[in-house]
Amino acid sequence: MSKPIDFRVDPSAYRHWQVEYNGPVATLSMDVDENGGLFEGYELKLNSYDLGVDIELNDIVQRMRFEHPEVKVVVMQSGKDNVFCAGANIRMLGGAAHSHKVNFCKFTNETRNAFEAAERDSGQQYIAAVKGACAGGGYELALACNHIMLTDDSTSAVGLPEVPLLAVLPGTGGLTRITDKRKMRRDLADIFCSIEEGVKGQRAKDWRLVDEVIPNSKFAETVVERAKEFAAKSNKPDIATGITFNPLERTITDTSVIWSTVTVEIDRAGRKATFILKGPEENAPTEMDAFQAQGDQAYLLRLCRELEDAILHMRLNEMEIGLWVIKTEGDPELVAAHEALLAANAEHWLANEVRQYWKRTLKRLDVTSRSLVAFVEHGSCFVGVLAEILFSVDRSYMMDGEFDDDDRALATIRLSEANFGAYPMGNNLTRLQTRFLGEPDLVDVAQKQINKAMDAETADKMGLVTIILDDIDWEDEVRIFLEERASFSPDAMTGMEANLRFAGPETMETRIFGRLTAWQNWIFNRPNAVGENGALQRYGTGVRGEYDLERV
Domain of 481, CATH number, reads: 3.90.226.10
Q: 2 pLDDT exceeds 80?
A: no
Query: Hey, how many other C-beta atoms are within 10 angstroms of the C-beta on 244?
Result: 10
Q: 301 and 163, same structural domain?
A: no
Tell me what pLDDT residue 450 has: 97
> Is the confidence at residue 76, as pLDDT, over 90?
yes
- Please give the single-letter amino acid code of residue 57: L
Whether 192 has a pLDDT exceeding 70, the answer reads: yes
pLDDT at res. 295: 98
pLDDT value at 168 more than 90: no
Domain boundary among 461, 478, 499: 499
- Total of domains in the chain: 2
Position 332 in a domain: yes
Kindly state whether residues 312 and 372 are assigned to the same domain: yes
Residues 194 and 334 grouped into a single domain:
no
Question: Which of 465, 482, 499 is the last residue before a domain boundary?
Answer: 499
Judgement on whether residues 229 and 268 belong to the same structural domain of the protein: no
Q: How far apart are CA 216 and CA 137, in angstroms?
A: 23
Out of 471, 499, 527, pick the residue that ends a domain.
499
Can you give the pTM of this predicted structure?
0.95
The residue range of the domain holding 218 is 13-233
Q: Is the pLDDT of residue 523 over 90?
A: no
> Strand (E) positions, 72-119?
73-78, 83-85, 87-88
Residue 275 contacts residue 258 (beta carbons within 8 Å): no
pLDDT, residue 520, reads 67
DSSP designation for 454:
B
Angle 430-431-433 (CA atoms, 0-180°, nearest 5)?
Answer: 65
Query: Has residue 518 been placed in a domain?
Result: no
* Rounded Cα–Cα distance for residues 327 and 82 (Å): 51
What average pLDDT does the chain have?
Answer: 95
Residues 178 and 295 in one domain: no
Residues 169 and 266 both lie in one domain: no
Instruction: Report, as an integer, the average pLDDT of 209-216.
Output: 98
Could you tell me where the beta strands, DSSP code E, fall in 290-431? Answer: 323-329, 371-376, 382-383, 395-399, 413-414
Q: Residues 364, 260: one domain?
A: yes
**Does residue 35 fall inside a structural domain?**
yes
Write down the pLDDT at residue 439: 96
Mean pLDDT, residues 413-434 taken together: 97
Q: What percent of the chain has pLDDT over 70?
A: 99
Most confident of 1-10, 87-96, 167-176, 468-477: 468-477
Mean pLDDT of 201-206: 98
Q: Residues 162, 159, 105, 173: is their CA dihedral positive or negative?
A: negative
Domain shared by 38 and 86, yes or no = yes
Find all residues with CB under 8 Å of 162, minimum gap 6, and list them.
136, 168, 169, 170, 171, 174, 193
Would you say residue 526 lies in a domain? no
* Residue 495 identity (one-letter amino acid): G
Query: Is 309 in the same domain as 431?
Result: yes
Please write the tens of the pLDDT for every residue from 217-276: 999 999 999 999 999 999 999 998 999 999 999 999 999 999 999 999 999 999 999 999
Q: How does DSSP classify residue 330?
A: S
- Nearest by Cα to 98 from 529, 533, 493, 551: 529
Q: Is the model's pLDDT at 454 over the cut of 50?
A: yes
Please check the confidence at residue 316 and state whether its pLDDT lies above 60: yes
- Per-residue pLDDT at 521 exceeds 80: no
Arithmetic mean of pLDDT, 104-110: 93
Q: Would you say residue 1 has pLDDT above 60?
A: no
Residue 518 has pLDDT above 90, yes or no: no
**How does residue 524 score in pLDDT terms, banded at 50, 70 and 90?**
confident
Residues in the chain, total = 552
* Residue 456 reports pLDDT greater than 70: yes
pLDDT at 491: 86
Q: Is the separation of the CB atoms in 95 and 41 below 8 Å?
A: yes
